Every structure is written in structure tokens, then in C-alpha cells.
A and B are shown apart, each in its own frame.
Chain A
Amino acid sequence: MGKLTLVQCLTGHRGRVWGAGWHPRDPVLATCGEDKTIRIWADDGTGRWVPKTVLSDGHTRTIRDVAWSPCGRFLASASFDATVAIWDRRSGEFECNATLEGHENEVKSVAWSRSGSLLATCSRDKSVWIWEVAQEDEYECAAVLNTHSQDVKKVEWHPHEDVLASASYDNTIQLYREDLADSDWSSFDTLASHDSTVWSIAFDASGRRLASCSDDQTVRIWQEYKPGNEFGVACPDGKTPVWKCVCTLSGFHSRAVYDISWCKQTGLIATACGDDMVRIFREVAGSPANEPTFELVASKHAHTQDANTVEWSPAGLLVTTSDDGDVKLWKFEEDE
């Protein structure tokens, strides 16, 4: 087992805190919520986190999600007001210099591709949009993907390739890539096995595995099988990889699992659950690649209401947000 210790509780948001995003390099964190604000927090150099800025004029409704670009210069925010705002601090202060419009209603999630040249958004309107970062403050819609039959909850890019994953109220996960011949984006695989809404997804460091969490109170681990793989998993056209569910973690969560994060450094999986708990899972050493086993290594009653987000920082800190209005920073230590 391991130990999850509270580093600091960040208070300031009024009402439910929905999202959090770590800066890719600096000890900086952005959070957002029901109060229509984005709050930027930073380590003051002594390990104490202090509020830096409150961005309050970008959206007219709940801000559901925030994401930093890989270069760290831009922050994107997704709102129930059907827009996505792009913020930067070229002028010294954070300012919204671009607003992406097009979704018919609530935007639920936003994510930057690994290179920072693509941005994905998804909405209650059942669609996933891919935006190309054209020039400064200019974003062009490269694709509108209507594969899901219901509200799309989350988008997440592959860590190395321009492959996008999306999770939906229709219980499935879709994987998309661009056909380089005609630069058309389309879904190449549908990951179906959850029994209810898939709230969130996370790739591992290799990008060969994906973890998903759901209203059905389970976490599932999916694995990529490329054409000609040594396990004899058939690929439909001999060219397109297929993804299969290789592990289901059930019996650990007692309510909907709202978020999942797969640490790129340690391989630890963290979950945020509607039972107020945060849990950490680790792959059992030496477990077979095709039937991996994951064990629970820590669980903590982290909040007084639903835990909404969980995300590992590049430095190994864990952030959680909750309906109780708090943002909490945690340190995980393995017991030897």
C-alpha cells in the first residue's frame, strides 16, 4: 500500500469546482467551476501554493474544463455558454484573445494535441470539433465529428500521435485519426463495454493503453493491437489498429467515477469518484500484458462532496477538485 498525504487545500472558488489543469512545465495550476471564474495558482518557491489571478470575464456560464497548451503559453477554457476561450499573457496579464464558437450548446471538454497545433472540443450537442491553430489567435475548424449518438463528455489526445479519443453519455469511446490522403478526420474504432456514461479517459505514457471511467462504477483498461500483432488479434482492414478491453476494475468504486488520470512518470492511475473518494491503482508487477492486473494502493476520503477531477502534475503532485468548492493538492508515497 501507499500513502496519500494532503499538501494543501486551495480555497477561493464559490460553489462546485469542475476542472483543473497543470501547466506543462511550471509549478502553476488553473482551476474552474460553477462561479464562472478561472483561478490561477502557483508555488511561491517554498512549496506553498498561492492564488495568482482570477479570470472572471471570459464566460457567461459554468466553466467546465481548462487545458494548457503544450508550450505553456495558452490556456483554453470550455464553458456551458457554448464557447471555448483561449487566454494568453502576451500583454503581461492574462487576456482572452480568441473565442471559438460553433457548438450548439454546453462545451464539456477541451484538449490540445501533443504538438499544440490542434485543439479538440466536445459538447452536449453530440459532436467533437477539431480546430487547427492557424496563426496568432486564429483557429480554423478542421473537422466536425458526429459519431457519438449522445452528449460527449471528454476529449483527450494521444501522447505521441495525432489520435484523438472521446468519451460519451452513449457509453462508448471513439478513436479518431486523419486520413492523410484527403485530410478527412473520422472514427477508426468504437470502444464499447461500459454499461453507462463514460465520464473520462486517460492514455498511459506509451499511448498503447487507455483507461476509462464510468457511471457504471468501473474503470476499464484498453490496449492497442496493431496489424500483424503477435497475439493474433485481427485488425479489420489489415491497416487499422484495434483496441480491446483487457482489464475491468470493478468493486472498488461505490458511485459514478468522474475522472481518471494516468501518471506519465510513475504509471499510477488516480480516480475521482462520486463517493467523495480518491483512489490510486498500480499495475501488479509482472502481470501479463494481455490480461494485466491492477491493485488498489491508496484510497482517501478526499472531499466532503463528489470528487470531480483528478490530475497528476509533471512533478508528481496530484490535484483534486470537488463539489464542496475545494481544490486539494496531494502527494503520493509508495510504501516499501
Chain B
Amino acid sequence: MSELENINPNVYKRSEDRKSTEDDENDDVADPFDEREIFDLIRNINDPEHPLTLEELHVLEQSLITVDNEKNFVKVLFTPTIPHCSMATLIGLSIRVKLLRALPPRFKVSVEINPGTHASENAVNKQLADKERVAAALENTHLIEVINQCIAVPIK
């Protein structure tokens, strides 16, 4: 990458790890998906430009995630770091792919730009919601490689 689009992004503190409770180990207790669990699945996705996670850049926040476990519905709003971010579609795709792989197929996943935070949010949202175009994009070997790098969890 030659030039960074957003040279000096704000960096925020990571949230604490979720504390596991006794119920987590108990198979008799139903454990429906909640906002925190979805957030944990995607917060460590890497930004395509910076060696930082989407959480650290406040691209993702738990408060912008909606989950209805019973209705099989997950909605994620993400906030591009700048309103003209050309990476917005790639970031949205990475979130989609991560959730596609991690969640059971019963879930309908919507990934949209946090309203008012991107110059072409409607165009990006429409593209991300078009499952046919997403499917075609994911057959692109170069693109899937880039996405895989974004969602890969670094070895600690």
C-alpha cells in the first residue's frame, strides 16, 4: 500500500474480555447468541490499512450490534474512520465473511454503515446486502485472500 488514506486515526482502548460464568460450562443452560458474543467474533478483525483492530479504531462497537436469537437476526452497524474511506466495502465484507463462517446458517446477517458516517453509505449498504454480488466477490481468489488476512487472528 503506497499511501495511507487516513494517516492518523484515533485509537481507542480495547474492551475487557468477557468473564465466563458457571452457566457457560453448564450444558443444560441454553446459551443464546447475544450482542457481546457477536462483538467478540468480529472485534479483532484487522483494519486493512493499520495494524489495529476494528474495535481499536471504533469501526465496531458493541452498542451498534443488534441480535434477535429467536428470529435468527443479526445486524451490525460499522463506522468508517473517515467519510470517504475507500475501504468501507472491504471492511463490511470482512465482517460479513467472519459472521458467515462463525454463525449457524439460520442467521440472516445485515452489515450496514452507521447512518451519516460515510459519503456513499447507500451504495455501500446496497452492495453489502446483495448476496449474489457478495457470493461472486468471495469467488475472487485475490479478494478472499485480502479478507482472510483481515479476519485472521494473530498468533500471540
Contact = CB atoms under 8 A, between A and B. Distances in A.
A106 B129 CA distance: 18
Interface in A11-41: 16, 34
Given A34-B135, A80-B136, A108-B132, A255 B108 contact: yes
A153 interface: yes
A197 B139 contact: no
A151 interface: yes
Interface string B34-48: 000000000000000
Q: Is the interface of B mostly helix, strand, loop or mixed?
A: helix
A323 interface: yes
Given A255-B108, A304-B105, A304-B106, A124 B136 contact: yes
Interface residues of A, number: 24
B106 A62 contact: no
Nearest to B127: A169
Interface residues of B, number: 12
A88 interface: no
B18 interface: no
A108 B139 CA distance: 15
B74 to A, nearest CB: 14
A306 B129 CA distance: 13
Contacts of B126: 169, 196-197, 215
6 contacts: A105-B136, A124-B136, A169-B126, A197-B130, A305-B106, A324-B105
Given A106-B136, A197-B126, 18 more contacts: A34-B135, A61-B139, A62-B139, A80-B136, A105-B136, A108-B132, A124-B136, A151-B130, A151-B133, A169-B126, A197-B130, A215-B126, A274-B131, A304-B106, A305-B106, A306-B131, A323-B131, A324-B105
Interface of A: 16, 34, 61-62, 64, 80, 105-106, 108, 124, 151, 153, 169, 196-197, 215, 255-256, 274, 304-306, 323-324
